[in-house]
Amino acid sequence: MGALAASGLAEIVAVAEPDDACAAEALTLAPDARRVDGLDALLTADIDAVVIATPSAAHADQSIAALNAGKAVFCQKPLGRTGPEVAEVVAAARRADRLLGVDLSYRHTAAMAAIRPLLDAGSLGHVFGVDVTFHNAWGPDKPWFYDPALSGGGCVVDLGVHLIDLALWSLGWPEVAGVESRLYAKGAPLADPARQVEDYATATLDLAGGTVVRLACSWGLQAGREAVIAAEFFGTEGGASLRNVNGSFYDLRAERHHHIRAEPLAEPPDDWGGRAAVDWLTRLAQGARFDDDARHLVTVARVIDRIYGR
């Protein structure tokens, strides 16, 4: 919200926030806004667009309600708990012809801005391997994350969504031909996904064209640092990597690899946290309507479903 307010591209009109302390904090960022009671009241305000930052179980229904009311939507990830939920939101955006954005923020880092052109230009040759990793040594602090009915799953739907999106987006959305996965909870194979969520997961995605993506993500891993975040690309003519620095959730470094030599491409600091929202707002201010690239939100959600075996 701070990034949107600072952009100068929009007037923040109203805030629907049930927690008094959070509402007060929001209104310090937008002192001319008014607090309203719930989404219905928000949608009857004189607004063009809605930002949705609620628990995951509400994302799809709230996004659809806003789109059906003719509002553009920017939603926290995941857009839905399952592939069918995400598909319903994208279909609603298409029907309403309204711009739909999701906070897939790692696309907008300076590190990926340095790596993506190398991939687009074929500078790394044939990229045959991609390793993507996100270990959060703490895990979420809200109980609903651990209820599969509310969250849709554990670390895969929470963190893996970033990794799958980043890998497939970086490579130009190749077809995912095969998916294999292993899910764990408290150190044991996940026995009952209807009652428990995974806190450690590995998956292999076989892509059309012969590329393999290896994914690993976790909550509460004894990783020796707060976070391990990486996207590593291995090609016949070189490699490239995005890696976090000193366990930081925010400081990311990009390098191009020439066998045993690393060439720096991007270094922190990089204030990237609000860029996905500001990118959506910029396009909205320019008159953008439904963007067919939103179909890839369904692609990612369906891969997550395959990882869960559903």
pLDDT digits (tens, 9 = 90+) for 26-71: 999 999 999 999 999 999 999 999 999 999 999 999 999 999 999 9
CATH of the domain at 57: 3.40.50.720
pLDDT for position 240: 98
Half-sphere exposure of 126 (CA within 13 A, CB side): 7
pLDDT for position 293: 97
Number of other residues whose CB lies within 10 A of the CB of residue 292: 8
Q: Which residues contact 68 (CB under 8 A, 6 or more apart)?
A: 92, 96
Residue-range definition of the domain harbouring residue 195 = 106-273
Sheet holding 261-266, edge to edge: 188-189, 176-185, 200-207, 212-219, 127-136, 227-235, 238-244, 252-258, 261-266
Averaged pLDDT score across all residues of the chain: 97
Per the domain annotation, does 299 fall within a domain?
Answer: no
- Token pair recorded at residue 124: 């790394």
Q: What confidence tens digit (pLDDT) does each residue in 189-214 have?
A: 999 998 999 999 999 999 999 999 99
Answer whether 205's CB lies under 8 Å from 176's CB: yes
Per the domain annotation, does 301 fall within a domain?
Answer: no
Answer whether 53's CB lies under 8 Å from 45's CB: no
Do 114 and 80 share a structural domain?
no
Do 285 and 265 share a structural domain?
no
| Cα dist from 201 to 91, 95, 131, 162, 211, whole Å | 30, 36, 14, 14, 20
Do 251 and 146 share a structural domain?
yes
- Token pair recorded at residue 22: 């959070």
Do 178 and 117 share a structural domain?
yes
Q: What confidence tens digit (pLDDT) does each residue in 136-186 have?
A: 999 999 999 999 999 999 999 999 999 999 999 999 999 999 999 999 999
Q: Which residue has the tokens 């953008």?
A: 288
Do 188 and 93 share a structural domain?
no
Label the pairing between strands 14-16 and 34-36: parallel
Do 148 and 93 share a structural domain?
no
Model confidence at 6, in pLDDT bands (50, 70, 90)? very high
Per the domain annotation, does 310 fall within a domain?
Answer: no
Q: Please state whether the predicted TM-score (pTM) of the whole model is above 0.85.
A: yes
Per the domain annotation, does 304 fall within a domain?
Answer: no
Burial of 19 (0-12, 13-18, 19+ CB in 10 A): exposed
Do 189 and 89 share a structural domain?
no
Name the helix (H) or strand (E) containing 150. helix 148-151
pLDDT for position 179: 98
Per the domain annotation, does 53 fall within a domain?
Answer: yes
pLDDT for position 181: 98
As for how many domains the chain has, the answer is 2
Do 192 and 114 share a structural domain?
yes
CATH of the domain at 164: 3.30.360.10
Per the domain annotation, does 308 fall within a domain?
Answer: no
Q: What confidence tens digit (pLDDT) does each residue in 234-285 have?
A: 999 999 999 999 999 999 999 999 999 999 999 999 999 999 999 999 999 9
Per the domain annotation, does 305 fall within a domain?
Answer: no
Do 150 and 207 share a structural domain?
yes
In degrees, to the nearest 5, what angle opens at C-alpha 93 toward C-alphas 86 and 34? 100
DSSP 76: P
Q: What confidence tens digit (pLDDT) does each residue in 88-136 have?
A: 999 999 999 999 999 999 999 999 999 999 999 999 999 999 999 999 9
Per the domain annotation, does 10 fall within a domain?
Answer: yes
